[in-house]
Structure 1
């Protein structure tokens, strides 16, 4: 269970100096709460009883705050901390929990963890790890490649030429992330990151040649482990009628939704004699300009409008 407290401690415990202050739970303890209100909680943060985190962190500032509370306020705060059913409470800076905190943890069966790291250092590391470990994921059929610094997903029907195009791009100095089944994760509200399944890493299948090891053929510089997805290029063999339907100014620009994020998509016609590698590079450069706020189609329309207005004669002056 990848999204459990135990697996998180197993994977990060050595780096973050985590240790169990209470016995490790025998049953997997999920980091995502099962109740609707728990699903909306932040995964980790400093002690917060108003908007409780699933992993509540107590460092020196929180320890000093608890020490300033009166007897009644302290008891209520401790009770509130554990009644919110956190996945665990983590004590940083080598702090040892007080007996009453241990008693309440035992009563509510809440695991306690300790670390020698500072609170912010531990929170930053765990937040980064959990963002990637618990991100929504999906697999898309295609080839994921980095072109001019942008992550480009090549999609299309089987045998349309995705892998051959990827091989052409690799020979031109670009880098491949994954062939056939790139795996994507939503690591931020508008950010999709793509990686390659371990069993497929370094390999590219090209019809007629079989399986190629890109790392062995082109070196370390031809491989990239992960990349943010910026553009989708849909390779389509279109007939004349379909080609006529493509907008001459904007091209085949639309969007493809992956994990709830709209990714710009370009439909690229496939036909004999077209140099698709050059066209992909041009599409990436064109998308870079769009991101910076420049659109050649809009510029062209504006230029034509200015030329028409300059050639138009001035209207006759009104008679008095």
Structure 2
């Protein structure tokens, strides 16, 4: 039944499922590999501690800790030493400076990163070598370095999970195909790649929340650009179809659930109601497509993607038709009443 005039219906969003979060850690060595050039980093001391683990994307400036207040010292974070911290240390007598630095080094700190123009006190480098705590130096100003550091760390420590499905770029939209094993996800994805769309991930899709309303999907590095197709085995999509047939990551804009047609189940025939799927508390539009012999799933997915692009502009074809039908019926009823009055 079509909606009443002016009514906008939305189906309650359902979660994507019970998924285990991916492990989120980073070593200092990996930080250097990921952002060494961007962050302009070099190792000054503590080379043996490059396998120390970073467990959070947050960082700390230990100025108050150097002054002696350690009650709320966030020692498990990257410690950034800028002009403020080092100018304070240089203002102290050698003995006082040494005592303050020793108190800091009692804690298990992942690393220190110096962004100051001041020389690093020798006590810091000596204790760093003794405690295997890396001291890194960057030539960037502190404010710019912190902005770049956040850009490097946030993708690593963003909330993440893995899901069984296929992620593709279809007409510029990230389309996540979900469904039970054997529903035809990989076969549908292969047909879409053959039709010119791009594969992001098959079988295991890594999802990360980049911001409050953005979920990004990518592939496992081990299975990147590969697909498993029943009857064919493992295929290398990039080798078969070229570099233009694959994509490293994509924002998830649409979820399509594939399932064998269930007798007696009512499927959406109008498209007036908006169905949603929740991922990290982010609501993503969803279509449920019944699978049965003779249906061309790849074309249905293409049309679903194009229709979603149209909806994102504010135009819903089903609601537009519904409104026209309602207006037509109202006009017809009004005309009938006028004729009855005459």
Q: How many residue pairs end up in the alignment?
A: 300
1:39 is aligned to none
1:254 is aligned to 275
Match of 2:33 among 2, 5, 11: 11
Take 2:238 and 2:31, find their aligned partners in 1: how far apart are those partners? 33
How does 1:33-182 map onto structure 2 within 5 Å? 43-44=58-59, 54-59=77-82, 62=84, 87-92=110-115, 94-98=117-121, 112-182=135-205
2:222 counterpart SS class: helix
Match of 1:216 among 239, 246, 250: 239
Take 1:70 and 1:7, find their aligned partners in 2: how far apart are those partners? 33
2:17 is aligned to none
Deviation at 1:186, TM superposition (A): 2.0
Structure 1, residues 210-239: CA drift from partner, whole Å, max 9, x if none? 222221221111111111111111111113
How does 1:236-247 map onto structure 2 within 5 Å? 236-242=259-265, 245-247=266-268
TM-score of the superposition, structure 1-length normalised?
A: 0.75
1:281 matched to 2:296:
no
In structure 2, the CA distance between the partners of 1:225 and 1:48, relative to structure 1 (3 Å rule), is farther
Take 2:244 and 2:63, find their aligned partners in 1: how far apart are those partners? 46
Take 2:222 and 2:324, find their aligned partners in 1: how far apart are those partners? 52
**Unmatched 5+ residue regions in structure 2?**
1-22, 65-71
- Between 1:215-224 and 1:249-258, the stretch displaced more is 249-258
2:169 counterpart SS class: strand
Deviation at 1:202, TM superposition (A): 2.4
Q: Contact 1:9–1:18 at 8 Å: present in 2 too?
A: no
Higher relative CO (CA 8 A, sep ≥ 6), structure 1 or 2?
2
Match of 1:187 among 210, 216, 227: 210
In structure 2, the CA distance between the partners of 1:188 and 1:241, relative to structure 1 (3 Å rule), is same
Q: Contact 1:94–1:117 at 8 Å: present in 2 too?
A: no
1:234 is aligned to 257
Deviation at 1:114, TM superposition (A): 1.6
Take 2:168 and 2:280, find their aligned partners in 1: how far apart are those partners? 19
In structure 2, the CA distance between the partners of 1:290 and 1:257, relative to structure 1 (3 Å rule), is same
Deviation at 1:170, TM superposition (A): 0.9
2:275 counterpart SS class: strand
In structure 2, the CA distance between the partners of 1:4 and 1:281, relative to structure 1 (3 Å rule), is closer
Q: Contact 1:44–1:126 at 8 Å: present in 2 too?
A: no
TM-score of the superposition, structure 2-length normalised?
A: 0.71
2:181 counterpart SS class: coil
Q: Contact 1:145–1:174 at 8 Å: present in 2 too?
A: yes
Q: Contact 1:56–1:88 at 8 Å: present in 2 too?
A: yes
